[in-house]
A and B are shown apart, each in its own frame.
Chain A
Amino acid sequence: MKKLAASLHDAVADIPDSAQIMIGGFGGSGAPIELIHALIDRFRATGSPKNVTVINNNAGNGATGIAAMIKAGMVGKMICSFPRSSNAEAFNTKYLAGEIELELVPQGTLAERIRAAGAGIPAFYTPTSYGTDLAIGKPTEEFDGKMYVRERSLTADFALIKAHKGDHVGNLTYRMAARNFNPLMAMAAAKTIAQVAELDVPGTIEPEQVITPGIFVDTVVSVPNPKQEEELVREGAEY
Protein backbone atom coordinates (compact mmCIF):
# COMPACT_ATOMS: atom_id res chain seq x y z
CA MET A 1 0.00 0.00 0.00
CA LYS A 2 1.31 3.40 -0.95
CA LYS A 3 -1.44 5.56 0.47
CA LEU A 4 0.64 7.43 2.99
CA ALA A 5 1.68 10.94 1.87
CA ALA A 6 4.92 12.28 3.31
CA SER A 7 3.51 15.78 3.80
CA LEU A 8 0.41 17.92 3.41
CA HIS A 9 2.16 19.56 0.48
CA ASP A 10 2.49 16.19 -1.28
CA ALA A 11 -1.07 15.16 -0.38
CA VAL A 12 -2.67 18.05 -2.33
CA ALA A 13 -0.05 18.33 -5.12
CA ASP A 14 -2.23 16.74 -7.84
CA ILE A 15 -5.36 18.88 -7.52
CA PRO A 16 -5.69 20.80 -10.81
CA ASP A 17 -7.31 24.09 -11.82
CA SER A 18 -11.12 23.95 -12.04
CA ALA A 19 -11.26 20.81 -9.92
CA GLN A 20 -14.55 19.95 -8.15
CA ILE A 21 -13.56 19.42 -4.52
CA MET A 22 -15.67 18.03 -1.69
CA ILE A 23 -14.53 19.30 1.69
CA GLY A 24 -15.80 17.53 4.82
CA GLY A 25 -17.12 19.21 7.91
CA PHE A 26 -20.23 20.84 9.27
CA GLY A 27 -19.39 24.27 10.54
CA GLY A 28 -16.05 23.82 12.26
CA SER A 29 -16.45 20.18 13.28
CA GLY A 30 -14.75 17.78 10.89
CA ALA A 31 -13.25 20.51 8.70
CA PRO A 32 -9.81 19.43 7.35
CA ILE A 33 -8.17 22.78 8.07
CA GLU A 34 -4.58 21.66 7.44
CA LEU A 35 -5.40 20.14 4.02
CA ILE A 36 -7.29 23.30 3.03
CA HIS A 37 -4.40 25.50 4.14
CA ALA A 38 -1.92 23.35 2.23
CA LEU A 39 -4.02 23.91 -0.89
CA ILE A 40 -4.08 27.67 -0.24
CA ASP A 41 -0.27 27.59 0.18
CA ARG A 42 0.03 25.96 -3.24
CA PHE A 43 -2.30 28.48 -4.83
CA ARG A 44 -0.34 31.39 -3.34
CA ALA A 45 2.97 29.93 -4.49
CA THR A 46 1.97 28.75 -7.97
CA GLY A 47 -1.40 30.32 -8.86
CA SER A 48 -2.92 26.85 -8.96
CA PRO A 49 -5.40 25.33 -8.36
CA LYS A 50 -7.62 28.24 -9.39
CA ASN A 51 -11.32 28.46 -10.16
CA VAL A 52 -12.18 25.38 -8.12
CA THR A 53 -15.71 24.34 -7.13
CA VAL A 54 -16.10 23.56 -3.43
CA ILE A 55 -18.81 21.28 -2.05
CA ASN A 56 -19.47 21.72 1.68
CA ASN A 57 -22.51 22.22 3.91
CA ASN A 58 -21.50 25.83 4.53
CA ALA A 59 -19.44 28.48 2.77
CA GLY A 60 -16.75 29.21 5.28
CA ASN A 61 -16.66 31.02 8.60
CA GLY A 62 -14.18 33.64 9.80
CA ALA A 63 -10.88 33.89 7.93
CA THR A 64 -9.45 30.35 7.94
CA GLY A 65 -10.37 27.13 6.12
CA ILE A 66 -12.89 27.50 3.28
CA ALA A 67 -13.37 31.22 4.08
CA ALA A 68 -9.62 31.73 3.51
CA MET A 69 -9.83 29.78 0.22
CA ILE A 70 -12.63 32.06 -0.93
CA LYS A 71 -10.79 35.18 0.22
CA ALA A 72 -7.65 34.04 -1.61
CA GLY A 73 -9.70 34.05 -4.84
CA MET A 74 -9.31 30.39 -5.77
CA VAL A 75 -13.00 29.40 -5.54
CA GLY A 76 -15.27 29.96 -8.55
CA LYS A 77 -18.34 28.17 -7.22
CA MET A 78 -19.81 26.88 -3.95
CA ILE A 79 -22.29 24.02 -3.77
CA CYS A 80 -23.78 24.12 -0.26
CA SER A 81 -26.95 24.21 1.83
CA PHE A 82 -26.26 26.97 4.33
CA PRO A 83 -23.80 29.69 3.28
CA ARG A 84 -24.48 31.59 6.51
CA SER A 85 -22.33 31.56 9.62
CA SER A 86 -21.37 33.77 12.53
CA ASN A 87 -18.87 35.46 10.19
CA ALA A 88 -19.60 34.69 6.54
CA GLU A 89 -17.99 37.90 5.28
CA ALA A 90 -15.58 36.13 2.90
CA PHE A 91 -18.37 34.38 0.96
CA ASN A 92 -20.93 37.19 1.25
CA THR A 93 -18.53 39.79 -0.16
CA LYS A 94 -17.69 37.70 -3.24
CA TYR A 95 -21.28 36.53 -3.73
CA LEU A 96 -22.85 39.98 -3.55
CA ALA A 97 -20.14 41.27 -5.92
CA GLY A 98 -21.05 38.49 -8.39
CA GLU A 99 -17.57 36.98 -8.13
CA ILE A 100 -18.61 33.54 -6.92
CA GLU A 101 -21.37 31.24 -8.10
CA LEU A 102 -23.71 29.52 -5.64
CA GLU A 103 -25.69 26.30 -6.05
CA LEU A 104 -27.99 26.07 -3.05
CA VAL A 105 -29.06 22.51 -2.15
CA PRO A 106 -31.29 21.37 0.75
CA GLN A 107 -29.06 19.72 3.35
CA GLY A 108 -30.55 16.23 3.17
CA THR A 109 -30.57 16.36 -0.61
CA LEU A 110 -26.90 17.41 -0.56
CA ALA A 111 -26.02 14.45 1.68
CA GLU A 112 -28.05 12.01 -0.42
CA ARG A 113 -26.64 13.31 -3.74
CA ILE A 114 -23.15 12.66 -2.38
CA ARG A 115 -24.10 9.26 -0.96
CA ALA A 116 -25.74 8.29 -4.27
CA ALA A 117 -22.58 9.17 -6.19
CA GLY A 118 -20.55 6.96 -3.89
CA ALA A 119 -23.02 4.11 -4.36
CA GLY A 120 -23.17 4.33 -8.16
CA ILE A 121 -26.73 5.68 -8.23
CA PRO A 122 -27.06 8.42 -10.91
CA ALA A 123 -30.34 9.92 -9.67
CA PHE A 124 -33.03 9.48 -7.04
CA TYR A 125 -36.42 10.87 -6.04
CA THR A 126 -37.22 12.87 -2.92
CA PRO A 127 -40.19 14.94 -1.76
CA THR A 128 -37.74 17.53 -0.42
CA SER A 129 -38.05 20.87 -2.26
CA TYR A 130 -41.11 19.79 -4.27
CA GLY A 131 -43.12 22.90 -5.17
CA THR A 132 -40.37 25.29 -4.05
CA ASP A 133 -37.97 27.55 -5.94
CA LEU A 134 -35.19 24.99 -5.46
CA ALA A 135 -37.08 22.44 -7.58
CA ILE A 136 -37.53 24.73 -10.59
CA GLY A 137 -36.48 22.94 -13.79
CA LYS A 138 -36.16 19.53 -12.13
CA PRO A 139 -38.22 16.55 -13.30
CA THR A 140 -41.00 15.42 -10.94
CA GLU A 141 -42.94 12.20 -10.62
CA GLU A 142 -45.80 10.84 -8.54
CA PHE A 143 -45.32 7.69 -6.49
CA ASP A 144 -48.16 6.28 -4.37
CA GLY A 145 -50.06 9.55 -4.55
CA LYS A 146 -47.18 11.76 -3.43
CA MET A 147 -45.06 14.10 -5.56
CA TYR A 148 -41.28 13.75 -5.76
CA VAL A 149 -38.39 15.68 -7.32
CA ARG A 150 -35.63 13.90 -9.25
CA GLU A 151 -32.16 14.80 -8.04
CA ARG A 152 -28.85 13.89 -9.65
CA SER A 153 -25.95 12.38 -7.77
CA LEU A 154 -23.05 14.69 -6.99
CA THR A 155 -19.51 13.59 -7.72
CA ALA A 156 -16.17 15.29 -7.26
CA ASP A 157 -12.61 15.01 -8.52
CA PHE A 158 -11.22 15.15 -5.00
CA ALA A 159 -12.45 14.94 -1.42
CA LEU A 160 -10.53 16.51 1.45
CA ILE A 161 -11.65 14.92 4.68
CA LYS A 162 -10.73 14.92 8.36
CA ALA A 163 -10.64 11.72 10.35
CA HIS A 164 -9.64 10.89 13.90
CA LYS A 165 -7.79 7.60 13.55
CA GLY A 166 -6.46 6.22 10.30
CA ASP A 167 -4.13 3.45 9.21
CA HIS A 168 -1.84 2.80 6.26
CA VAL A 169 -4.59 1.07 4.25
CA GLY A 170 -6.94 4.02 4.63
CA ASN A 171 -9.36 2.73 7.27
CA LEU A 172 -10.79 5.69 9.18
CA THR A 173 -12.68 6.56 12.34
CA TYR A 174 -14.13 9.93 13.27
CA ARG A 175 -14.50 11.96 16.42
CA MET A 176 -18.06 12.61 17.68
CA ALA A 177 -20.14 14.92 15.44
CA ALA A 178 -17.06 15.63 13.30
CA ARG A 179 -18.14 12.60 11.22
CA ASN A 180 -20.95 14.46 9.36
CA PHE A 181 -20.21 14.60 5.59
CA ASN A 182 -16.73 13.03 5.76
CA PRO A 183 -17.62 9.33 5.21
CA LEU A 184 -20.01 10.23 2.35
CA MET A 185 -17.48 12.40 0.55
CA ALA A 186 -14.83 9.71 0.95
CA MET A 187 -17.11 7.42 -1.07
CA ALA A 188 -18.15 9.94 -3.71
CA ALA A 189 -14.91 11.52 -4.92
CA ALA A 190 -12.63 10.06 -7.59
CA LYS A 191 -9.73 10.64 -5.22
CA THR A 192 -10.06 10.99 -1.46
CA ILE A 193 -7.38 12.58 0.69
CA ALA A 194 -7.76 12.11 4.45
CA GLN A 195 -5.90 13.90 7.19
CA VAL A 196 -5.76 11.81 10.37
CA ALA A 197 -4.99 12.97 13.89
CA GLU A 198 -3.69 9.54 14.84
CA LEU A 199 -1.92 7.33 12.34
CA ASP A 200 -1.93 3.68 13.36
CA VAL A 201 -0.30 0.62 11.88
CA PRO A 202 -2.82 -1.70 10.16
CA GLY A 203 -4.54 -3.94 12.67
CA THR A 204 -4.61 -1.34 15.42
CA ILE A 205 -8.08 -0.10 14.53
CA GLU A 206 -10.52 -2.90 15.36
CA PRO A 207 -12.35 -3.94 12.17
CA GLU A 208 -15.64 -3.42 14.00
CA GLN A 209 -14.68 0.18 14.75
CA VAL A 210 -13.84 1.14 11.15
CA ILE A 211 -16.34 3.69 9.84
CA THR A 212 -14.78 4.38 6.43
CA PRO A 213 -13.15 1.24 4.99
CA GLY A 214 -9.85 1.87 3.20
CA ILE A 215 -11.24 1.12 -0.26
CA PHE A 216 -12.76 4.63 -0.25
CA VAL A 217 -9.50 6.37 0.64
CA ASP A 218 -6.58 7.07 -1.70
CA THR A 219 -4.22 9.21 0.36
CA VAL A 220 -3.64 9.44 4.09
CA VAL A 221 -1.59 12.19 5.70
CA SER A 222 -0.75 12.39 9.36
CA VAL A 223 -1.75 15.65 11.10
CA PRO A 224 -1.37 15.24 14.86
CA ASN A 225 -3.21 17.82 17.01
CA PRO A 226 -5.22 19.29 14.14
CA LYS A 227 -6.69 22.78 14.38
CA GLN A 228 -10.40 23.05 15.06
CA GLU A 229 -12.08 25.70 12.88
CA GLU A 230 -14.48 26.89 15.58
CA GLU A 231 -11.54 27.56 17.91
CA LEU A 232 -9.72 29.44 15.14
CA VAL A 233 -12.80 31.57 14.51
CA ARG A 234 -13.08 32.36 18.22
CA GLU A 235 -9.39 33.30 18.33
CA GLY A 236 -9.95 35.61 15.35
CA ALA A 237 -7.28 33.69 13.40
CA GLU A 238 -6.58 34.55 9.76
CA TYR A 239 -4.89 32.43 7.14
Chain B
Amino acid sequence: MSDFNVMEDKLANAQIAWRAAQDLSDGSYVNLGIGFPEMIAKFQPVGRDVTYHTENGVLGFGKAPDVGQEDWDLINAGKRAVTLKAGASFFHHADSFSMVRGGHLDLAVLGAYQVAQNGDLANWSVGAKGVPAVGGAMDLVHGAKNVAVVTDHVTKKGEPKLLDACTLPLTGIGCVTRVYTSLAVIDIVDGQFVLREKLAQISLDQLQSVTGATLHIDGTVGDLIVPEDI
Protein backbone atom coordinates (compact mmCIF):
# COMPACT_ATOMS: atom_id res chain seq x y z
CA MET B 1 0.00 0.00 0.00
CA SER B 2 1.33 3.38 -1.03
CA ASP B 3 1.61 6.15 1.56
CA PHE B 4 0.84 8.77 -1.08
CA ASN B 5 -1.83 11.22 0.11
CA VAL B 6 -3.87 12.38 -2.90
CA MET B 7 -5.10 15.53 -1.17
CA GLU B 8 -1.74 16.61 0.25
CA ASP B 9 0.95 15.29 -2.10
CA LYS B 10 -0.67 16.36 -5.36
CA LEU B 11 0.72 19.09 -7.62
CA ALA B 12 -0.17 22.71 -7.01
CA ASN B 13 -2.00 24.61 -9.77
CA ALA B 14 1.20 26.42 -10.76
CA GLN B 15 2.93 23.06 -11.23
CA ILE B 16 0.09 21.75 -13.40
CA ALA B 17 0.30 24.97 -15.43
CA TRP B 18 4.08 24.54 -15.75
CA ARG B 19 3.63 21.01 -17.12
CA ALA B 20 0.99 22.15 -19.62
CA ALA B 21 3.29 24.97 -20.73
CA GLN B 22 6.01 22.48 -21.71
CA ASP B 23 3.73 21.28 -24.54
CA LEU B 24 3.17 24.75 -26.07
CA SER B 25 4.34 24.49 -29.69
CA ASP B 26 6.64 27.00 -31.32
CA GLY B 27 4.67 29.20 -33.71
CA SER B 28 1.28 28.26 -32.27
CA TYR B 29 -1.84 30.36 -31.66
CA VAL B 30 -3.28 29.65 -28.23
CA ASN B 31 -6.28 30.69 -26.14
CA LEU B 32 -5.95 30.27 -22.38
CA GLY B 33 -9.14 30.26 -20.30
CA ILE B 34 -9.73 32.83 -17.58
CA GLY B 35 -8.13 32.06 -14.21
CA PHE B 36 -6.08 28.90 -13.73
CA PRO B 37 -5.28 28.26 -17.44
CA GLU B 38 -3.99 31.84 -17.81
CA MET B 39 -1.10 30.84 -15.51
CA ILE B 40 0.35 28.68 -18.31
CA ALA B 41 1.67 31.75 -20.16
CA LYS B 42 3.95 32.48 -17.21
CA PHE B 43 5.77 29.19 -17.79
CA GLN B 44 6.08 29.39 -21.58
CA PRO B 45 9.48 27.79 -22.35
CA VAL B 46 12.18 30.20 -23.50
CA GLY B 47 12.78 30.18 -27.24
CA ARG B 48 9.23 29.23 -28.16
CA ASP B 49 7.14 31.80 -29.95
CA VAL B 50 3.48 31.57 -28.91
CA THR B 51 0.76 34.06 -29.89
CA TYR B 52 -2.08 34.38 -27.42
CA HIS B 53 -5.66 35.07 -28.50
CA THR B 54 -8.31 36.56 -26.27
CA GLU B 55 -12.00 36.40 -27.16
CA ASN B 56 -12.70 40.09 -26.76
CA GLY B 57 -10.54 40.90 -29.75
CA VAL B 58 -6.76 40.92 -29.25
CA LEU B 59 -4.12 38.68 -30.80
CA GLY B 60 -0.55 38.94 -29.52
CA PHE B 61 -1.03 40.33 -26.03
CA GLY B 62 1.56 40.06 -23.28
CA LYS B 63 1.71 40.26 -19.52
CA ALA B 64 -0.18 42.64 -17.26
CA PRO B 65 1.09 46.24 -17.10
CA ASP B 66 2.49 47.69 -13.89
CA VAL B 67 -0.11 48.94 -11.40
CA GLY B 68 -1.15 52.44 -12.40
CA GLN B 69 -0.18 51.83 -16.06
CA GLU B 70 -3.43 50.07 -17.01
CA ASP B 71 -5.41 51.17 -20.04
CA TRP B 72 -8.88 49.71 -19.51
CA ASP B 73 -9.56 49.64 -23.24
CA LEU B 74 -6.77 47.07 -23.46
CA ILE B 75 -8.03 44.05 -21.55
CA ASN B 76 -8.34 40.29 -21.92
CA ALA B 77 -11.45 38.13 -21.67
CA GLY B 78 -11.00 38.03 -17.89
CA LYS B 79 -11.36 41.86 -17.95
CA ARG B 80 -7.77 42.23 -16.75
CA ALA B 81 -5.45 44.84 -18.22
CA VAL B 82 -2.82 43.45 -20.61
CA THR B 83 0.00 44.84 -22.76
CA LEU B 84 0.73 44.37 -26.45
CA LYS B 85 3.63 42.55 -28.08
CA ALA B 86 5.08 43.57 -31.42
CA GLY B 87 2.79 42.25 -34.16
CA ALA B 88 -0.39 42.44 -32.08
CA SER B 89 -3.77 43.10 -33.70
CA PHE B 90 -7.29 44.18 -32.75
CA PHE B 91 -10.50 42.90 -34.32
CA HIS B 92 -14.23 42.76 -33.63
CA HIS B 93 -16.04 39.91 -31.94
CA ALA B 94 -17.22 38.10 -35.08
CA ASP B 95 -13.65 37.99 -36.42
CA SER B 96 -12.43 36.90 -33.00
CA PHE B 97 -14.86 33.99 -32.93
CA SER B 98 -14.11 33.19 -36.57
CA MET B 99 -10.56 32.56 -35.35
CA VAL B 100 -12.06 30.25 -32.72
CA ARG B 101 -14.85 28.56 -34.68
CA GLY B 102 -13.02 28.48 -38.00
CA GLY B 103 -10.36 26.15 -36.58
CA HIS B 104 -7.54 28.69 -36.66
CA LEU B 105 -6.41 28.27 -33.06
CA ASP B 106 -3.93 25.47 -32.44
CA LEU B 107 -4.81 25.05 -28.79
CA ALA B 108 -7.36 26.11 -26.21
CA VAL B 109 -6.75 25.32 -22.54
CA LEU B 110 -9.70 25.36 -20.18
CA GLY B 111 -10.54 24.50 -16.60
CA ALA B 112 -13.02 21.74 -15.77
CA TYR B 113 -15.56 20.57 -13.23
CA GLN B 114 -15.65 17.17 -14.93
CA VAL B 115 -14.13 15.43 -17.97
CA ALA B 116 -15.51 12.19 -19.38
CA GLN B 117 -13.48 9.45 -21.08
CA ASN B 118 -15.08 10.25 -24.43
CA GLY B 119 -13.87 13.86 -24.17
CA ASP B 120 -17.11 15.43 -22.90
CA LEU B 121 -16.40 18.52 -20.81
CA ALA B 122 -18.47 20.11 -18.04
CA ASN B 123 -17.05 23.44 -16.96
CA TRP B 124 -19.76 26.12 -17.11
CA SER B 125 -22.54 25.26 -14.70
CA VAL B 126 -22.85 23.38 -11.43
CA GLY B 127 -26.59 23.04 -11.83
CA ALA B 128 -29.75 24.93 -11.11
CA LYS B 129 -28.77 27.43 -8.41
CA GLY B 130 -27.46 30.95 -8.97
CA VAL B 131 -26.98 32.94 -12.14
CA PRO B 132 -25.79 30.92 -15.16
CA ALA B 133 -22.94 32.29 -17.31
CA VAL B 134 -21.26 30.60 -20.28
CA GLY B 135 -18.95 33.07 -22.07
CA GLY B 136 -16.83 31.64 -24.89
CA ALA B 137 -16.22 28.14 -23.50
CA MET B 138 -18.78 26.39 -25.73
CA ASP B 139 -17.21 28.03 -28.80
CA LEU B 140 -13.62 27.24 -27.84
CA VAL B 141 -14.22 23.53 -27.27
CA HIS B 142 -15.49 23.03 -30.82
CA GLY B 143 -13.18 25.43 -32.59
CA ALA B 144 -9.59 24.91 -31.49
CA LYS B 145 -7.60 22.10 -33.11
CA ASN B 146 -6.64 20.78 -29.67
CA VAL B 147 -8.56 21.28 -26.46
CA ALA B 148 -6.63 20.66 -23.25
CA VAL B 149 -7.86 20.83 -19.68
CA VAL B 150 -5.93 21.73 -16.55
CA THR B 151 -7.56 20.52 -13.36
CA ASP B 152 -7.19 18.93 -10.00
CA HIS B 153 -7.51 15.18 -10.38
CA VAL B 154 -10.24 15.09 -7.71
CA THR B 155 -12.72 17.54 -6.20
CA LYS B 156 -12.16 19.25 -2.85
CA LYS B 157 -14.14 16.37 -1.33
CA GLY B 158 -11.80 13.86 -2.98
CA GLU B 159 -14.28 12.67 -5.60
CA PRO B 160 -13.05 11.90 -9.14
CA LYS B 161 -13.32 14.67 -11.76
CA LEU B 162 -12.35 12.28 -14.57
CA LEU B 163 -15.42 10.11 -15.14
CA ASP B 164 -17.00 7.59 -17.46
CA ALA B 165 -19.75 10.17 -18.05
CA CYS B 166 -20.21 13.74 -16.82
CA THR B 167 -23.06 14.37 -14.39
CA LEU B 168 -22.99 18.19 -14.59
CA PRO B 169 -24.33 20.22 -17.55
CA LEU B 170 -22.05 19.79 -20.58
CA THR B 171 -19.98 22.49 -22.23
CA GLY B 172 -19.28 20.28 -25.24
CA ILE B 173 -19.38 16.70 -26.45
CA GLY B 174 -16.23 14.70 -27.26
CA CYS B 175 -14.07 17.80 -27.40
CA VAL B 176 -11.20 17.37 -24.92
CA THR B 177 -7.98 15.88 -26.29
CA ARG B 178 -5.61 16.05 -23.28
CA VAL B 179 -5.96 16.49 -19.51
CA TYR B 180 -3.23 17.79 -17.19
CA THR B 181 -4.16 16.96 -13.62
CA SER B 182 -2.59 17.28 -10.19
CA LEU B 183 -1.52 13.63 -10.49
CA ALA B 184 -1.18 12.72 -14.16
CA VAL B 185 -1.18 13.60 -17.84
CA ILE B 186 -3.91 11.78 -19.72
CA ASP B 187 -4.85 11.76 -23.40
CA ILE B 188 -8.31 11.02 -24.71
CA VAL B 189 -8.08 8.56 -27.59
CA ASP B 190 -11.05 6.79 -29.19
CA GLY B 191 -13.30 7.32 -26.19
CA GLN B 192 -10.76 6.18 -23.60
CA PHE B 193 -8.45 7.75 -21.04
CA VAL B 194 -4.87 6.86 -22.01
CA LEU B 195 -2.35 7.47 -19.23
CA ARG B 196 0.82 9.19 -20.50
CA GLU B 197 2.49 10.37 -17.29
CA LYS B 198 1.87 10.03 -13.57
CA LEU B 199 3.63 11.23 -10.42
CA ALA B 200 6.25 8.60 -9.58
CA GLN B 201 5.11 8.51 -5.94
CA ILE B 202 1.59 7.31 -6.70
CA SER B 203 0.95 3.70 -7.70
CA LEU B 204 -1.12 2.90 -10.76
CA ASP B 205 -3.71 1.23 -8.51
CA GLN B 206 -4.07 4.28 -6.31
CA LEU B 207 -4.32 6.59 -9.34
CA GLN B 208 -7.01 4.31 -10.78
CA SER B 209 -8.89 4.40 -7.46
CA VAL B 210 -9.30 8.20 -7.69
CA THR B 211 -10.24 8.13 -11.39
CA GLY B 212 -13.87 7.54 -12.35
CA ALA B 213 -13.16 5.55 -15.52
CA THR B 214 -10.57 3.00 -16.64
CA LEU B 215 -7.08 4.31 -17.30
CA HIS B 216 -5.62 2.61 -20.35
CA ILE B 217 -1.93 2.14 -20.95
CA ASP B 218 -0.49 2.46 -24.43
CA GLY B 219 3.26 1.97 -24.32
CA THR B 220 5.26 3.50 -21.50
CA VAL B 221 3.88 5.67 -18.73
CA GLY B 222 6.37 8.44 -18.04
CA ASP B 223 7.06 10.11 -14.71
CA LEU B 224 5.28 13.44 -14.26
CA ILE B 225 8.18 15.63 -13.14
CA VAL B 226 7.75 19.33 -12.37
CA PRO B 227 9.91 21.88 -10.53
CA GLU B 228 9.21 21.92 -6.78
CA ASP B 229 9.94 25.60 -6.25
CA ILE B 230 7.01 27.08 -8.20
Residues of A within 8 A of B (CB): 26-30, 57, 81-86, 88, 91-92, 95-96, 102, 104-112, 114-115, 126-134, 174-184, 211, 228-231
Looking at B136, B137, B170, the one whose CB has the most chain A CB atoms below 10 A away is B136
Partner of A81, one of B125, B131, B134: B134
A104 lies within 8 A of B79 (CB): no
Residues of B within 8 A of A84 (CB): 131, 133
**Whole-angstrom distance between the alpha carbons of A231 and B72 in the complex?**
8
Contacts A180-B92, A228-B72 given; does A134 touch B131 at CB 8 Å: no
Residues of B within 8 A of A174 (CB): 90
Interface residues of B in 154-190 (CB under 8 A from A): 169-173
Residues of B within 8 A of A (CB): 54-58, 71-75, 79, 90-94, 96-97, 100-101, 125, 130-139, 142-143, 169-173
Nearest Cβ on chain A to B181's Cβ, whole angstroms = 23
**Whole-angstrom distance between the alpha carbons of A107 and B74 in the complex?**
19
A126 lies within 8 A of B101 (CB): yes
A128 lies within 8 A of B92 (CB): no
Contacts A132-B138, A132-B172, A179-B92 given; does A108 touch B73 at CB 8 Å: no
A111 lies within 8 A of B131 (CB): no
Residues of A within 8 A of B134 (CB): 81-82, 104-107, 134
B170 lies within 8 A of A131 (CB): yes
**Whole-angstrom distance between the alpha carbons of A132 and B173 in the complex?**
8
Contacts A29-B73, A106-B139, A134-B138 given; does A181 touch B93 at CB 8 Å: yes
Residues of B within 8 A of A184 (CB): 92-94
Nearest Cβ on chain A to B136's Cβ, whole angstroms = 4
**Whole-angstrom distance between the alpha carbons of A36 and B46 in the complex?**
46
Closest CB pairs A-B (n = 3): A108-B139, A108-B97, A230-B72
**Whole-angstrom distance between the alpha carbons of A106 and B171 in the complex?**
10
A106 lies within 8 A of B136 (CB): yes
Residues of A within 8 A of B56 (CB): 26-27, 29, 177, 180
Looking at A106, A115, A228, A231, the one whose CB has the most chain B CB atoms below 10 A away is A106
**Whole-angstrom distance between the alpha carbons of A211 and B156 in the complex?**
48
B139 lies within 8 A of A82 (CB): no
B131 lies within 8 A of A91 (CB): yes
Contacts A26-B56, A29-B56, A108-B101 given; does A129 touch B138 at CB 8 Å: yes
Nearest Cβ on chain A to B139's Cβ, whole angstroms = 3
Looking at B91, B132, B139, B170, the one whose CB has the most chain A CB atoms below 10 A away is B139
Partner of A96, one of B96, B131, B170: B131
Contacts A82-B133, A92-B131, A106-B134 given; does A131 touch B172 at CB 8 Å: yes
**Whole-angstrom distance between the alpha carbons of A27 and B73 in the complex?**
10
Partner of B71, one of A85, A96, A176, A179: A176
A178 lies within 8 A of B131 (CB): no
Nearest Cβ on chain A to B189's Cβ, whole angstroms = 19
Nearest Cβ on chain A to B90's Cβ, whole angstroms = 6
A28 lies within 8 A of B72 (CB): yes
**Whole-angstrom distance between the alpha carbons of A27 and B137 in the complex?**
17
Looking at A27, A81, A111, A230, the one whose CB has the most chain B CB atoms below 10 A away is A111
Contacts A112-B97, A132-B169 given; does A81 touch B90 at CB 8 Å: no
B72 lies within 8 A of A179 (CB): no
Residues of A within 8 A of B90 (CB): 174, 176-177, 179
